[in-house]
Amino acid sequence: MRTLIKDGMIVTSEHEFKGDILIEGTKIQALGRNLRVEADEVINAEGMYILPGGVDQHAHFSFEFMGQRTKGFETTNAAALGGTTTVIEFVNQEEGKGLVETVEDYKKEWVEDISMVDYSFHPVITNPTKETFEDIKNLPSAGYPTVKLFMAYKGQFFHSDDEAVTNALLEAKDAGVTVMVHAENADLIELMQKRAIAEGNTDPYYHALTRPPIVETEATERAINLARFAEAPIYIVHVTTKGAVDAIKKAKEEGLPVFGETCTQYLLLDKEYLSRDNFEGANYVCSPALRDKDDQEYLWQSLKDGWLNAVSSDHCGFTTEQKKMGIDDFRKIPNGAPGLENRLPMLWTYGVEAGKITRSELVDYYAASPARNNGIDHRKGYLSPGYDADIVIYNPFVKKTVTIDDSLNGVDYTTYEGFEQIGECDRVFLRGETVVKDGKYVGQQGQGSFIKGTAYGTAFR
């Protein structure tokens, strides 16, 4: 099957030009101006923008919080609808299993023949033993070139202390494995949460007040110093605040291999969303917490300046009913918010259309850089011959309002309800197969495939 996309504005992370793309089978065969080739289907993309399929390097389809579990890979049609063709999932190490074994078992039971987009994984250390750390060296050969640790969530089974983080860094550096950390000071959070509850402050808004910027800034600085001690690269996930960015900036200026991402919600939402009536604020409980509008502007500028290199969704599909666990105690509200399908349209609307970022920068933040970070840039994130034909035809003329009625994220609300949206994914290809057409999902469950990552991603380069 040969498909020719003609006369679209092709956007890469470096430049854009009007031209054509030829898809043959699952791969991009050629791109250029005025391609004169035979094709089974010719698509007129005049006025449209042609982007690589997005790579969302931070998503949760198996996250458990106080016994509650997110929606799974059966909801990844939402990714396709939003122009994301590869998701990378965090998988918590299971008791009695190693990192590789945990992910392999999870993949077989919960992902294969279910996912609607391609996928890879970040193992999460929950059992910081000698055997676990030794297993890190086995991750690259299995195709998992990253590992994550949670510095937050004291008392939860997935919390890691400084010793665990340091041991992971020491083991990972020689294997080319990128260590990712959720950087928040767990002890300070617990202290402030206990005080809030003792004073009768139980509403969702206190989730933000008991996780102030200092807990993220301090933990980011500490994580960087642990990496400095280990002489290893480190990646800080979901950066939200000026202090954390400045810690990364200072480290990079010193020549340290320190990298970070932010997420869509931190660019667009502030902590006042948590004060909404009728417990609606619970839908905006995520960690780190939402910040102030000044932090949003700083994050946009930090992307432009190169201090942060990716924008993820941190998609976490808990339902309203699950959130009600914490109706009398904000500490029990499952942390996380859905956003899988909104990342590209929100970046386009409030980044590109607002003049905060260029189209090429958008491609870098949402596709190319995440692919490089995770060692899948040999197949994903780029529009180039030989790469997977993961392609988005973006129609910039559509104007709509985000609503749960159009959502595929599998829960009963959308984080961006009521937001104006400019443009939509008119057509999306996953390895040459159409999975979105005329702005509607038309793919099939199980179309996604595992993408094996290679070691020595961006943090080592």
Question: Selecting from 3.20.20.140, 3.40.50.300, 3.40.50.150, 3.30.470.20, what CATH number does the domain 53-381 have?
Answer: 3.20.20.140
Q: What is the pLDDT of residues 287-328, one digit of tens each?
A: 999 999 999 999 999 999 999 999 999 999 999 999 999 999
Ranges in the chain, pLDDT < 50:
none
pLDDT recorded at residue 10:
98
Of the candidates 367, 321, 315, 373, the one whose C-alpha atom is nearest the C-alpha of residue 344 is 367
Q: Taking the model in full, what pTM does it have?
A: 0.97
What's the pLDDT score for residue 292?
96
Burial class from Cβ neighbours inside 10 Å (0-12, 13-18, 19+) for residue 378 reads middle
CA distances from 24 to 352, 416, 442, 446 (A): 31, 37, 20, 21
Do 26 and 431 touch, CB atoms closer than 8 A?
A: yes
The per-residue pLDDT for range 111-136, each reduced to its tens digit, is: 999 999 999 999 999 999 999 999 99
Give, in order, the Cα–Cα distances in Å from 362 to each of 125, 256, 424: 31, 25, 15
The structural domains of the chain, with segments of one domain joined by +, span 53-381
Tally Cβ neighbours within 10 Å of residue 222. 17
- Per-residue model confidence (pLDDT) at position 58: 98
